[in-house]
Amino acid sequence: MTRPRRTPALIVAIFVVTLLSKAAETAPVRDPEGAARQYRIARRLVAEGSADAAAALAKVFDLDPAGPLADDALVEQALLLPVATWPGDLGRIAAPEALRAAALLDRAIDGFPGGDRASEARVLRAFLRLEPLLGRDPARARLDLLGVATGAVDERWRSSARFGIAWIDERSGERERARSAYQRLAIDGATTPAGDRSRARLARMLLRDGKPGRAAALIEENAEEGGERETLALRDLAVRSTLRQAGVGGRWTGGTAVTAPSGLKGVAAAARLRDGGLLLADRRTGAVIEIEADGKTGARFALDGVQALTEDSMGRRFAAAGERLYRLLPSGPVAVAELGAFSPASAMTADGWGRLYLLDRHGERIGVLEPGAPSPAALAGVAKAPRLTGLVWDGARLVSLDARAKGLVEVLADGSLRPIAAVPCERPEALAADPAGEVAVLDSKADEVLLLGPDGQVRDRVSIRAAGLPRADTIVLGADGSLDLQAEGGGTTARFP
Amino acid sequence: MKTQASIALVALAVSVCLMSPAVPRAEEPPPPTPARPSSPLDAIRDDLLALRFESALAAIDAMLRDPALPASTRLDALVLRSQAHAASGALDAAEQDYREVLDLDPAFEPDPAVASRKAIARFEKARADRVGMLRIDLDPSDATVLVDGRPARRLADGTLPALAGSRTLRLERKGFDPLERTIDVQPGHETPFVVRLVPNVRSIVVRTEPDGVLVSVDDQPSGETARPKSGAPDAPAQLEIDDLAPGEHAITLRKPCYRTVRHRRMITVDLMDHAPLAIETVALDPVRSRLKLMGSIEGGEVRVDGNPAGTLPIEPLELCPGPRDVEVRAGGRVVWWARVELPEEGGLEVEVRPRPNLARVVAEWPRALSPFAESFSAAPPLPLPPGADLSSTHGWEAVQLPGGTDLAVTVTPAPGGGPADRGALYSPILRTVERIEGTLPDPSRPAWLESSTGMKLADSSVWGKAVVVEVAPGGPAAAANISVGDRVLAVGSSAVDGSRQAAAALRDAAPGSEIEVHVAGPQGAPRAVRVRTAPTPVIPVRHDGARSPAVVAAWAAADGAVAGGAAPSALANLALLLSGAGRHDLAADVLRRIPWGERKGVGAGTGAYLLGRELEFQGLEADARTAFLRARASLSTAPDDDGLEVAPAAADHLADLGVAPEPAAQPTGR
């Protein structure tokens, strides 16, 4: 019989005590009750729109970093930045805030993978990857969303993820895949926000497919009566196209409304806005003026030498002026890129991802400006292109006009051109497009505007003189299909509703 | 020696007497013979048996000195003392005892078996001094006689002994007026006394053909007539009803399947004849009522009072009048039930449509909630089980609900008879409990079918409201010459302002009906056209949010059991509700049973799509794939015939299940 050895036991005891004391030193202080109190305060501040809300939420996390409210604090901080909760909300967040939001959401995803906000965090994180910022990564976003769509318990975020996937597919040219997903959401979640949004996207696709009647009816079925201006404009366009298709109306010749905003002396560029408004650049006064949907004069930006204006599908407004590209923010114009070889630009448009395309003044070079890039890159293959006039994104294609060949061409991703249709006019000079894929062409010789369908067939025709204008240099199409004409050097806009 | 011997002999006789009950009561049944009670008299009897006369007499005397001694005990004690005195030869004392006994019971007579002749002579002397006899001639003879307020006994010869002197006699009998007389009783003499009581009620005998007739007098049930057990076999059935007060009475004779007879009868009393009044025989006429069942439960099996009566549609049923339980079964369940009251004259027409079976588990069903119950086949309320927690499914599952219950409810009425203020609605189908706060949910039948016009409308800020933007070729609108570009101005007599209002008005028209629609062309003048709508299933049904899933599920179960146009829609909606309640296996079972038939729009493909979703929920991927492939190959739509095609949506589900799209298999859109 041997005596028990006491020395190893003592060593183990000392080791355990040391470990515990170390743990006590390093473990964060937890105050669950304090966090709960602070969360109530933070929620109130969020509801009030207080500037202190973010700090209050941060304190919730600090008080109990592993507690049940920690993931709520992280996700809600990100929402304040603001992170898009639907793809339609993209474009509102700036790069620094997007970085902070990504960090917050990553912490929520990694730190609380089984938490009740995990699916939401994953969806929001995926949408962040779709923001028109440097580092945009639709492929990664799609993978993240697939994970939520096929695995999440919460139907709300499963639906959001599915909608996000369809939205990406639609922009990636996977139209049938997108259509299936939208249709599934419209059936399975008929009365949900995802269902409404899916119907609106389906309507847009049907409109392009030449089924405007069904598109109009689909929008009408949405649960929310009224809805966003953009959706209502789409419905108007669908009804217009339906009537035109049936030959019972919907034409521009129905009437003209002429507006002459005060202080506007010479229009150099114009762009229609998603909310029904109009953006005009006045070269003589060196200003960009917003005309709101109801005709009132809205924001005014001081900016000289504007050659082109555009608003992308996310509502971001850009002006090409001199050698720079400016983003028009409520606080004023902010230079975001150098135009370089594409200055001065003769036309500018944006695709569904927020990429900007610029046509140089000779109509020979097309530049593409990726979100966040300092300057446009030339599309390969266009260097030897024929002289092009105008550049528009028709919702699915980048379209330009070969003035010499008198034909519409599609500018492909590799810069090559693909003829779409011949343009039956004498001197085609300007282009505009609507969400139905219709393209309006200004014929300066015949002083008329033609509306061509995606197949190149003439769907409408209107005389410039009918509007009381001697001539027109600029044409823009609204989301509702209405046509605006402006003459360079004049301050008048004629609208064919 | 002789004296001692005779004393011993008497004592033996006394002991024999003492072993028997003290005083035999005339006209009284023998008392039961339980174990002898232990009382002071028992101890005295024991003394006497042991010939301890002195101690026995001392004990009796002591007992009789107690003024609170009950009269019957006092009587027994006196009789015992008289026997003791007589046995011991103390005849004077015995005579005195007899006097006191007769004061208490003038009908007393000593038992000659235990009393000596001398003692009996002394008794006779005492009785002759104190008691007279009344020979009463009573009518009715069984009337009760009270002398000075105390019941009096008559002797075997019919005479009634009474103490001499002025006595008050009262004669009573049920059905007669009581009578009081004062009479002077002569000691030792017999006095005749004739009394005839006056009746104040009359019994009657009701006679009927047939037997088994329920007789009510003044609306109070009195019994059923029956054939007399003796007598001629063809004698009428009869019922004797006792003690009717004189005057007019309403007599009602009622028997199922016979015409009820009501008549009034004057009842009088007869001083001479007390026999029941026989009423002439009433023959009841057989009668039948016509029950006409109207409605749309094609093939439904009709049962009346549980007996098969035919299959719907059915000729009017000839039934016995009165309350009848009528039920219609279809799809293996009761789809309609009602307790109807068939009148004797004419008949009854009843609208038979499927409706859920409601169970009410309440202390009392508030009258204010009658409309809710009347929407269903509501069984009589069940009592609230004590201590049951009906706010949980567990609590409800402990309640023995009738078989086939689709919906159960419990409510506690608000004070003052207002609407129910709290309660619970239990769905045995969904296994859910919904709390009731304030008011019960809408009980009405959901619209499984709506009207389709084959046209779509949209508003435009530029081109006007309610513009027709799509017309299905060959559809109702096309048949009515409505074209794209027309605007809907009014539906029926109601002007509409916008496409939503117009669509709702068109949708709400009775499916298959013809409605007048006022339209205007882009340039033309307004015109009225008649559109015959087509029925379309709606999955899920539209509602305003006030609908209770439990109520909708109950209606779906009832309507889904009945073959017809609405059944597939009802069953599909039931499946959606089951799915929403997490019962995906049941939802899948329901979807598999739906008889879609051959129809465009909502149809087999829609069912396959919904089935695929339920199977996907259950993780049955192979089966889900098969179902979605069927949906993808179809032209079916959702949520109605004018809705979206399910094929593309099925393709998206299939992609989740790893099935690549097959563009060639997909139908082209409209």
Q: Which of B459, B463, B483 sits opposite A250 (nearest CB)?
A: B463
CB contact under 8 A, A187 and B459: no
DSSP state letter for A254: G
What distance in Å separates the CA atoms of residue A143 and residue A446, rounded to the nearest whole number? Answer: 52
> Torsion angle of alpha carbons B360, B364, B365, B367, nearest 10°?
170
Half-sphere exposure of B505 (CA within 13 A, CB side): 22
Type and span of the H or E element at A232: helix A229-246
Average pLDDT value over all residues in chain B: 88
Kindly state whether B32 is in contact with chain A, defined as any CB-CB distance less than 8 angstroms: no
Picking from B469, B499, B648, the nearest residue to A213 by CB comes out as B469
Contact B256, B220 (CB under 8 A): no
Q: Supply A228's token pair.
A: 């966003």
Q: For the CA atoms of chain A, what is the radius of gyration?
A: 27
Nearest-angstrom CA–CA distance, A441 and A427: 10
**B178, B166 in Cβ contact below 8 A?**
no
Q: How far apart are the first and last CA of chain A?
A: 107
- Looking at this protein, which amino acid is placed at residue A144? D
Report the share of chain B in percent with pLDDT over 90.
Answer: 64
User: Three-class SS of residue B640?
Assistant: coil
Q: Do B485 and A249 touch (CB under 8 A)?
A: yes
Lowest mean pLDDT among A221-235, A383-397, B289-303, B549-563: A221-235
Given an 8 Å threshold on Cβ–Cβ distance, is B500 in contact with A219?
no
CB distance A217–B649 less than 8 Å?
Answer: no
pLDDT band at B611 (very low <50, low <70, confident <90, very high): very high
What residues of B are in contact with residue A240 (Cβ under 8 Å)? 460, 462-463
Q: Report helix, strand or coil for B517.
A: strand
Chain B interface, best mutation among A220, A234, A237, A252, by max B CB count within 10 A: A220
Name, in order, each residue with C-beta under 8 angstroms of B394's C-beta and a sequence gap of 6 or more.
none
- pTM for this one? 0.76
CA A201 to chain CA centroid, nearest Å: 13
CA distance A325 to A369: 10
Average pLDDT over residues A451-455: 88
Pairing of strands B289-295, B347-352: parallel
pLDDT above 60: residue B57: yes
Q: What backbone phi and psi angles, to 5 degrees, belong to A281?
A: -105, 125
Residues of A with a Cβ under 8 Å from any B Cβ are 149-150, 176-177, 179-181, 183-184, 186-188, 190, 202, 209, 211-214, 216-220, 225, 232, 235-236, 238-240, 242-243, 245-246, 248-250, 254, 480, 482, 497
Cis link prior to B473 (omega < 30° from 0)?
no
Per DSSP, the residues of B534-563 read EEEE-SSPP--S---HHHHHHHHHHHHTS-
Report residue A106 as tokens.
Answer: 């990553």
- Report yes or no: B613 at the A interface, CB cutoff 8 Å: yes
Distance from CA of A484 to the nearest CA of B (A): 15
Range list of H helices, B405-489? 476-479
Res B48: pLDDT: 81
Helix axes B71-87, B2-19, angle to 10 degrees: 160
Is A187 within 8 Å of B638 when comparing Cβ atoms?
Answer: yes
Angle between helices A155-171 and A193-208 (to 10 degrees): 20
Burial class (CB in 10 A: 0-12, 13-18, 19+), A16: exposed
Q: Is the pLDDT of residue A144 over 60?
A: yes
Q: Mark which residues 458-497 of B lie under 8 Å from A by CB.
A: 458-463, 467, 469-470, 483-485
What pLDDT was estimated at residue A23?
A: 45
Mutate to test the interface with A, among B453, B459, B467, B469 (most CBs of A within 10 A): B469
Half-sphere exposure of B292 (CA within 13 A, CB side): 5
Residue B254 has pLDDT above 50, yes or no: yes
The 10 Å Cβ neighbour count of residue B327 is 22
- Confidence class for position A495, pLDDT limits 50, 70, 90: confident
Q: Identify all chain B residues contacting A183, using CB atoms and an 8 Å cutoff.
A: 644-645, 648-649, 652
Q: How far is CA A247 from CA A241, A449, A455, B626, in A?
A: 10, 19, 17, 44
Q: Which of B500, B613, B644 to mutate to test the interface with A (most CBs of A within 10 A)?
A: B644
| Residues shown for chain B | 670
Check A180 against B521: CB less than 8 A apart: no
- Please list every residue in chain B whose beta carbon sits closer than 8 Å to the beta carbon of residue A211: 669-670
Nearest to B149 by CA among B176, B167, B133, B173: B167
The arithmetic mean of pLDDT across residues B273-291, rounded, is: 92
**Contact call for residues B505 and B492 (beta carbons, < 8 A):** yes
How many Å lie between the alpha carbon of B470 and the closest alpha carbon of chain A? 5
* pLDDT higher than 70, residue A16: no
* Of the candidate ranges A130-134, B98-102, B175-179, B563-567, the one whose mean pLDDT is the lowest: B563-567
Cα B575 to Cα B588: distance, rounded to the nearest angstrom:
7
Residue B6 has pLDDT above 80, yes or no: no
CA end-to-end span of chain B, whole Å? Answer: 143
Smallest CA-to-CA distance from B560 within B550, B547, B572 is with B572
Burial class of residue B276 (count of CB atoms within 10 Å of its CB; 0-12, 13-18, 19+): middle
Q: Which chain B residues are within 8 Å of A194, Cβ to Cβ?
A: none
**For B439-481, what is each residue's pLDDT tens digit?**
889 999 999 999 999 999 999 988 889 999 999 999 999 999 9
Kindly determine whether residue B655 and residue A177, on different chains, have CB atoms separated by under 8 Å. yes
Under 8 Å between Cβ of A421 and A407: yes
C-alpha–C-alpha distance, residues A181 and A166, integer Å: 6
Q: List A271's β-bridge partners, or say none.
A: A279
Taking contacts as CB-CB distances below 8 angstroms, the residues of chain B near A480 are 461-462
pLDDT tens digits, B135-178: 988 888 889 999 999 888 888 888 899 999 999 999 999 889 99
Q: Is any Cβ of chain A less than 8 angstroms from the Cβ of B662?
A: no
pLDDT in tens, B394-442: 999 989 999 899 999 998 876 666 656 689 999 999 999 999 887 889 9
Q: Which residue of B has its CA nearest to A177?
A: B652
For residue A220, give the nearest of B458, B483, B656 by CB distance. Answer: B458
Could you tell me the pLDDT band of residue B10, with boundaries at 50, 70 and 90? very low
Residue A225 has pLDDT above 60, yes or no: no
Name the residue type at position A128: L
Does A205 have pLDDT greater than 90? yes
Mutate to test the interface with A, among B453, B456, B462 (most CBs of A within 10 A): B462
Tokens, residue B405: 């219950």
Looking at the complex, report in whole angstroms how far the Cα of residue B581 sits from the nearest Cα belonging to chain A: 14
Residue of A nearest to B576 (CA): A188
- Cβ-defined contact of B609 to A187 (cutoff 8 Å): yes
Query: CB A179 to CB B648 under 8 A?
Result: yes
Give residue B470's identity as a one-letter amino acid code: E
Are residues B191 and B133 in contact, defined by beta-carbon separation less than 8 angstroms? yes
Closest residue to A214, CB basis, from B460, B470, B485: B470
C-alpha span between B359 and B552 (Å, rounded): 16
Give the residue from chain A lying closest to B470, CA to CA.
A213
A344 prior amide bond cis, ω within 30: yes
**Which chain A residues touch B616 with a CB distance below 8 Å?**
none
Pairwise CB contact (< 8 Å): A181 & B652: yes
Give the DSSP letter of residue B368: G
Rounded-to-integer distance, Cα A127 and Cα A166, Å: 13
Cβ atoms of B143 and B171 within 8 Å: the answer is yes
Phi-psi region of A335 (alpha: psi -120 to 50; beta: other; left: phi over 0): beta
Q: What are phi and psi of A232, to 5 degrees?
A: -65, -40
Contact B540, B553 (CB under 8 A): no
Cross-chain Cβ contact B458/A190 below 8 Å: no
In this complex, which of B462, B613, B643 lies closest to A497 when CB atoms are compared? B462
Condensed to tens digits (0 to 9), the pLDDT of residues B627-644 reads 999 999 999 999 999 999
B26 pLDDT exceeds 70? no
Give me the pLDDT at residue A25, please. 47
Q: Residue A37: enclosing H or E segment and its boundaries?
A: helix A32-48
User: What's the pLDDT score for residue B37?
Assistant: 45
* DSSP strands (E only) in B218-321: 220-224, 237-244, 247-254, 261-267, 277-278, 282-283, 289-295, 301-304, 307-311, 317-319
Instruction: Mark yes or no for CB contact A190/B639 under 8 Å.
Output: yes
Q: Cβ of A220 and B457 within 8 Å?
A: yes
* H/E element, A24: helix A7-26
Question: Is the per-residue pLDDT at B29 higher than 80?
Answer: no
The neighbour count for residue B265, using CB atoms within 10 Å, is 15
Q: Write down the H helix ranges in A137-228.
A: 138-151, 155-171, 175-188, 193-208, 212-220
Spatial distance between the Cα atoms of B625 and B612, rounded to a whole number of angstroms: 7
Lowest mean pLDDT among A260-269, B294-303, B593-602: A260-269
- pLDDT (tens digit, 9 = 90+) per residue, B185-243? 999 899 998 989 999 999 999 999 999 999 999 999 999 999 998 878 789 999 999 98
Q: Determine whether the interchain pair A246/B463 forms a contact, defined as Cβ–Cβ distance below 8 Å.
A: no
Distance CA A87, CA A186 (A): 17
Distance CA B544, CA B425 (A): 19
Both tokens of B400, joined, read 């023995």
Distance (Å) from the C-alpha of residue B457 to the closest C-alpha of chain A?
6
Q: Work out the number of other CB atoms within 10 angstroms of the CB of residue B330.
A: 22
Considering only alpha carbons, which residue of chain A is nearest residue B638?
A187
| Among A187, A211, A213, beta carbon nearest to B646 | A187
Preferred mutation among B460, B641, B666 to probe A, highest tally of A CBs within 10 A: B460
| Residue B382 DSSP code | B
pLDDT-derived band at A285, boundaries 50, 70, 90: confident
The three-point CA angle A261-A262-A268 to 5° equals 65
Contact B411, B422 (CB under 8 A): yes
ipTM of the complex: 0.87
